[in-house]
Structure 1
Amino acid sequence: MKHFKPIKTDRIYEKVLDQLKGAILTSRFKPGEKLPSERELCEEFQVSRGVIREAIRALELRGFVLIRQGPAGGAYVTDLGFNQVGNAFLDLFKTNKLSMKDIAQVRMHVEPEVARLAAKHFDPSQMDMLLNLEKEEHVDYVSYEDRIDRLTRVHKALAKICGNPFFEAIVRSMLLLTAEVVLKVASNHDLLHGPGEHLRVIQAVISRNEEEAAREMAEHLRQFSQNLIEMEKTYRRQIVQE
């Protein structure tokens, strides 16, 4: 049984890539499954091994497949998630095509709306989870990475509760960029993010007060975002020196 159409075009590599992506996105190949071998793909597409390898490499860079070595090696389909989106934005930030000012502007538009939607869709069964996430921000942490992870969990939880997976993808991407800067530059995370700031947002969400939730999130982000914009200057200088 053949999965793909022969390629007859000057843009061979891109056409191969498009068909492979299409096969993954339409679940012809599911997470954990191995793509056909290079030889089989060459026969189906009627192209050279070099073209197939270039297309597979592009799939790997985009997070669609994982390359394994050894007797059972090959290209295995990954379980696509939000990390691929976040990594793409992170690459743009590292190459100076996105700034923290850009990110802060988007966060000020997106996250208050996420908080409002979270209040709208809040279910009482989620109350303990949100309150526990907030409490865990203030216990002893084992590393800066652990500290930043704890400080972002409430944002991720609200993004999930809001009910819009695209908002969730955007929020997670922005949090990844924020963590990149904070971990590299900030020596005192408490100056950036004081205790109780998330609690006010959570209380508004639990009360299902949509406008209050949006207002508290905007207030939380306002000073925090300004600090991040200033921190980016230090971040860029450190990158140049490395």
Structure 2
Amino acid sequence: MVLFKPIKTSRASEDVFVQLKTSILSGTFKSGSKLPSERELTEMFEVSRGVIREAIRMLELSGFLSIRQGHGGGAYVTDLTLSHVSNAFLDLFQTNTLSMAEVAQVRMFIEPEVARLAAINFTPAHAQQIDEAEAREHGTYQSLTDQIACLTTVHKVLANICGNQFFEAIVRSMLKITAEMVQKVVPDPYALHGPGEHIQLIKAVKAGDGPKAEAEMHRHLKDFMISMVKLEKEYRQQMKAQP
């Protein structure tokens, strides 16, 4: 049985949240496992059910738990993946905590380095992966979402090839934020980014030329991110207008 410390402070739900979160991160409660019942947690922490419910709700909103109803229902530990990072940054952007100018600054700093590392780590085994990503840009799109996904696949592939999972998580987070804004305020993504714009970048990566790949990524992103920063005002206005 897991032993928790009884809660005696006025911020009881936050303290319960921290202890449960620590237990999940340490592996005491593994992915897919069910937390003890509300009654059991109430007894362990020596708090009210309301406190437990609030802590569980905080864990659910943070992506650590999913709540299942019906027979066998309860609070289950989710499969923690890097996608949680992307969702968290998107939430910060949507609530105007992060600005597009800040996202642009980080993209201009990190993605050229990601391209350089991808060139250094590139092997013949990666060729098909990156060629297929480039080919997707020239295909037929099923929707605006699909079009944006196809035009950004090369960035995701390079982030994967670079060999740093943290860089990959950051790149995917920034791409998710960019996609959110493009979908809201750019009817035709081709106005910002057409197919085939990654060709020189891909050539540099395939050649194993790190400095060239870094320079090509910087060149590719520069005008695009300037346009995105200018579009943020329109995005914020549209978000305010939503019911």
Which of the five TM-score ranges fits, normalised by the shorter chain? over 0.9
1:34 corresponding residue in structure 2 = 34
Distance 2:14 2:237 in 1: 37
User: After superposition, what is the alpha-carbon deviation per residue over 1:43-64, rounded to whole angstroms, capped at 9, x for unaligned?
Assistant: 1111111111111000000000
2:214 corresponding residue in structure 1 = 214
Q: Which amino acid aligns with 1:191?
A: A
Contact 1:82 1:173 in 2 (8 A): no
2:25 corresponding residue in structure 1 = 25
Contact 1:31 1:78 in 2 (8 A): yes
1:93 corresponding residue in structure 2 = 93
CA RMSD between the two structures: 1.3
Distance 2:169 2:212 in 1: 24
Contact 1:119 1:207 in 2 (8 A): yes
1:224 corresponding residue in structure 2 = 224
More off after superposition, 149-158 vs 131-140: 149-158
2:119 corresponding residue in structure 1 = 119
Q: Which amino acid aligns with 1:43?
A: E
SS in 2 for 1:197: coil
Q: Which amino acid aligns with 2:41?
A: L
Runs of 4+ in 1 over 4 A off after TM superposition: none
SS in 2 for 1:128: helix
Q: Which amino acid aligns with 2:231?
A: M
SS in 2 for 1:172: helix
Contact 2:138 2:196 in 1 (8 A): no
1:171 corresponding residue in structure 2 = 171
Contact 2:116 2:210 in 1 (8 A): yes
Distance 1:21 1:236 in 2: 33
User: After superposition, what is the alpha-carbon deviation per residue over 1:150-193, rounded to whole angstroms, capped at 9, x for unaligned?
Assistant: 11211111111111111111111111110011001111111211
Q: Which amino acid aligns with 1:192?
A: L
Distance 1:168 1:231 in 2: 25
Cα drift, residue 112 of structure 1: 0.2
User: Are 1:82 and 2:82 an aligned pair?
Assistant: yes
User: Are 1:16 and 2:16 an aligned pair?
Assistant: yes
Distance 1:2 1:222 in 2: 52
SS in 2 for 1:63: coil
Distance 2:21 2:46 in 1: 18
Distance 1:56 1:105 in 2: 36
Percent of aligned pairs with the same residue? 58
Distance 2:64 2:83 in 1: 11
Distance 2:37 2:157 in 1: 40
Distance 2:42 2:71 in 1: 20
Contact 1:35 1:74 in 2 (8 A): yes
1:50 corresponding residue in structure 2 = 50
Distance 1:134 1:5 in 2: 54
